[in-house]
Chains A and B, each alone.
Chain A
């Protein structure tokens, strides 16, 4: 297996501000790589640099073996890009949008017809061909945007928060599409805020304040030492009314984090204090658990904030 996307010590500065600081990673061909991080942490900047839209201040990267600085023009032909805003012309019909992007990528004649049929089969948008893009629902807009982004059969596709503001059914449909394509060898680089989406990804990177602070499979991240400090245990507290005891749990000695998950509380607590916790909450069941991805990122973020102070 060869890497479809690599970043090597990528640093991007805008004046005094460092938007991306020494970020390195590699994404294998056919992989669905999830990229997480708060707004403004540098996710979109990295995508722009990898697509050749921004020149990195230092460091480099490759797409399908092509250098992002030297081969920017060729890279643009080989990658697909879909943003949160979808980049659709709302006053044009579905067919016109698809035809426009086919034209922009220089796809003509027989090949254009064939590709159009393929993306229509894939996205199932055929019955809306003559509708204006602006009249589609969010889910269909997203499918149309994907159809436009892959019309030129790119081997690498960047999706920048593709599911923001989309209902769960449409979100799942999109992910099913992504996995079908990745099965055909297409590599996906997906940024998202949704933890359930991140957990679907083969590997996940977490960027915080311009630094890549975690990288690996979901399982690897759950076992990160930084997310499981020595001498602490992550526990799930199941009790009758979780919300009313949350504050009490947070005030308890040795509790580092506590938050509500449905009808239970997830807490990070010093292992020595577990008995005290159990004593303080009679009637509650306390069991040790593996941290969720969200637990991992929250713990990492608190740790960095603490280190900075």
Chain B
């Protein structure tokens, strides 16, 4: 056992000295995730509100104005401008000034009075699917409600939905986005720190020197993982603090369970960083490889897009991404108050992934040494 980890303590001690000496790297490593947290935490709002809308009202009647008021009252549409021709409406959308156009025909009021169907045109800019979807849904709801109110004699709806949103009652985007963001920020920071530290040794020739000493591969790797793991853990605590205090995201579950379940994720990303460092010859290469892990972790982990909606192949891919499991842990504990009983499988998968990553990194390291 001692044999397997030979050199761990001196490596660990030396790595701490590097961290303390290189204040610049330390500062940026800790500051940049924090800056990004602030940036994305404040900027990202997935709720679609106040879509700029252009109106072409040919009817100019009390009825048409009433309908438009209902649109404006939904908070989804912002009636920004009024035009007097079809072409102007189309042009405004194409220019990107507005995203939706509503055209009420000249016979709108007459049709309502005659009892025939009055059709109104909704022109939607499809270049942003979220906005388009929201616009269509809301307009359908608004017109359906308006229609029902017209046909029902006493003006009372037979069924009324009262939505009650659990775990995030105000449907605040920060509650949804910040916990996921933690996984991404932690991953980038940790992979970069450990991969660069090993590749730097290769560039400067100290790795060659170490290979001539009795230091065991695991001694070297674990010796580096410990200080950078501690650093990443400290950053996690700081991020959670900012999330709670600045973004007012309550932590529904146990913070201790959350911190404990973060350890397997740190293990995995440290292992990934080590794997990258065995492949990269230069720091620039290591940086690119580390950045290459970001996009899959953002798009295929369920951070932004629902895994349930993905094609089968990508569902499989998402199961191979560590961030998938950690985001489930984060959201589970922070938003839903879940605990070990519900989330232990995620932690177990991450632990397994971490062990595999470190084992692979060790093997790649030994094989490359020979080549």
Interface residues of A (CB under 8 A from B): 14, 51, 53-55, 73, 76-77, 79, 81, 83-92, 96, 100-101, 103-106, 158
Which residues of B180-219 are within 8 A (CB) of A? Answer: 204-206, 208-215
The answer to whether A85 touches B22, judged by C-beta atoms less than 8 angstroms apart, is no
Query: What separation, in Å, do the CA atoms of A172 and B91 have in the docked complex?
Result: 83
The number of inter-chain residue pairs (CB within 8 angstroms) is 68
For A86, list chain B residues within 8 Å (CB). 205, 209
Interface residues of B (CB under 8 A from A): 6-7, 9-11, 13-14, 17-18, 21-22, 204-206, 208-215, 369-371
Partner of A89, one of B14, B212, B213, B371: B14
CB distance from A6 to the nearest CB of B (A): 19
Q: List 15 A-B contacts (CB under 8 A).
A: A14-B371, A79-B212, A81-B209, A81-B212, A83-B208, A85-B204, A87-B209, A87-B210, A90-B204, A92-B14, A96-B14, A103-B10, A104-B10, A104-B214, A105-B214
Query: What separation, in Å, do the CA atoms of A79 and B211 have in the docked complex?
Result: 12
Contacts A86-B205, A90-B204 given; indicate if A53 touches B213 (C-beta within 8 A).
Answer: no
For A106, list chain B residues within 8 Å (CB). 6, 214
Interface of B is mostly: helix
Chain A's closest residue to B369 (CB) is A53
The answer to whether A76 touches B17, judged by C-beta atoms less than 8 angstroms apart, is no
Query: What separation, in Å, do the CA atoms of A14 and B368 have in the docked complex?
Result: 12
CB distance from A294 to the nearest CB of B (A): 29
The answer to whether B211 touches A103, judged by C-beta atoms less than 8 angstroms apart, is no
Residue from A73, A92, A106 having most chain B Cβ neighbours under 10 A: A106
Contacts A88-B206, A103-B13 given; indicate if A51 touches B18 (C-beta within 8 A).
Answer: no
Query: What separation, in Å, do the CA atoms of A66 and B105 have in the docked complex?
Result: 97
CB distance from B290 to the nearest CB of A (A): 22
For A158, list chain B residues within 8 Å (CB). 212
The answer to whether A103 touches B205, judged by C-beta atoms less than 8 angstroms apart, is no
The answer to whether A104 touches B205, judged by C-beta atoms less than 8 angstroms apart, is no
CB distance from B211 to the nearest CB of A (A): 6
For A51, list chain B residues within 8 Å (CB). 212
Query: What separation, in Å, do the CA atoms of A87 and B214 have in the docked complex?
Result: 15
Query: What separation, in Å, do the CA atoms of A18 and B205 have in the docked complex?
Result: 24
The answer to whether B9 touches A87, judged by C-beta atoms less than 8 angstroms apart, is no
Chain A's closest residue to B18 (CB) is A91
The answer to whether B22 touches A91, judged by C-beta atoms less than 8 angstroms apart, is yes
Query: What separation, in Å, do the CA atoms of A70 and B280 have in the docked complex?
Result: 30
Contacts A53-B211, A104-B210, A105-B213 given; indicate if A87 touches B14 (C-beta within 8 A).
Answer: no
Partner of B213, one of A55, A83, A96, A104: A104
Partner of B206, one of A14, A84, A87, A96: A87
Query: What separation, in Å, do the CA atoms of A51 and B21 have in the docked complex?
Result: 32
Query: What separation, in Å, do the CA atoms of A92 and B106 have in the docked complex?
Result: 82
Query: What separation, in Å, do the CA atoms of A101 and B7 have in the docked complex?
Result: 10
CB distance from B3 to the nearest CB of A (A): 8
Chain A's closest residue to B220 (CB) is A104
The answer to whether B206 touches A76, judged by C-beta atoms less than 8 angstroms apart, is no
CB distance from A299 to the nearest CB of B (A): 34
CB distance from A16 to the nearest CB of B (A): 14
Query: What separation, in Å, do the CA atoms of A89 and B371 have in the docked complex?
Result: 25
CB distance from B315 to the nearest CB of A (A): 40
For B10, list chain A residues within 8 Å (CB). 100, 103-104
CB distance from A4 to the nearest CB of B (A): 17
Query: What separation, in Å, do the CA atoms of A77 and B214 have in the docked complex?
Result: 6
For A87, list chain B residues within 8 Å (CB). 205-206, 208-210
For B369, list chain A residues within 8 Å (CB). 53
Query: What separation, in Å, do the CA atoms of A53 and B368 have in the docked complex?
Result: 11
Query: What separation, in Å, do the CA atoms of A247 and B125 have in the docked complex?
Result: 82
CB distance from B94 to the nearest CB of A (A): 58
Query: What separation, in Å, do the CA atoms of A86 and B215 have in the docked complex?
Result: 17
Partner of B209, one of A73, A83, A103: A83
For A55, list chain B residues within 8 Å (CB). 370
Chain B's closest residue to A77 (CB) is B214
For B371, list chain A residues within 8 Å (CB). 14
For B6, list chain A residues within 8 Å (CB). 106
Query: What separation, in Å, do the CA atoms of A220 and B132 have in the docked complex?
Result: 89
Chain A's closest residue to B211 (CB) is A53
Residue from B14, B213, B215 having most chain A Cβ neighbours under 10 A: B213
Contacts A53-B369, A85-B208 given; indicate if A92 touches B17 (C-beta within 8 A).
Answer: yes
The answer to whether B18 touches A89, judged by C-beta atoms less than 8 angstroms apart, is yes
For B208, list chain A residues within 8 Å (CB). 83, 85, 87
Chain B's closest residue to A88 (CB) is B206
CB distance from A12 to the nearest CB of B (A): 11
Partner of B214, one of A53, A73, A91, A96: A73
Query: What separation, in Å, do the CA atoms of A101 and B206 have in the docked complex?
Result: 11
Chain A's closest residue to B212 (CB) is A81
For B211, list chain A residues within 8 Å (CB). 53
CB distance from B82 to the nearest CB of A (A): 67
The answer to whether B213 touches A85, judged by C-beta atoms less than 8 angstroms apart, is no
CB distance from B276 to the nearest CB of A (A): 22
For A79, list chain B residues within 8 Å (CB). 212
For B21, list chain A residues within 8 Å (CB). 91-92
Chain B's closest residue to A90 (CB) is B204
Query: What separation, in Å, do the CA atoms of A86 and B21 have in the docked complex?
Result: 20
CB distance from B295 to the nearest CB of A (A): 33
Query: What separation, in Å, do the CA atoms of A38 and B334 have in the docked complex?
Result: 64
CB distance from B22 to the nearest CB of A (A): 6
For A81, list chain B residues within 8 Å (CB). 209, 212-213
Contacts A53-B369, A106-B6 given; indicate if A101 touches B204 (C-beta within 8 A).
Answer: no
The answer to whether A53 touches B370, judged by C-beta atoms less than 8 angstroms apart, is yes
For B13, list chain A residues within 8 Å (CB). 100, 103
Query: What separation, in Å, do the CA atoms of A238 and B211 have in the docked complex?
Result: 51
For B209, list chain A residues within 8 Å (CB). 81, 83, 85-87
CB distance from B367 to the nearest CB of A (A): 12
CB distance from B16 to the nearest CB of A (A): 11
Partner of B205, one of A85, A91, A100: A85
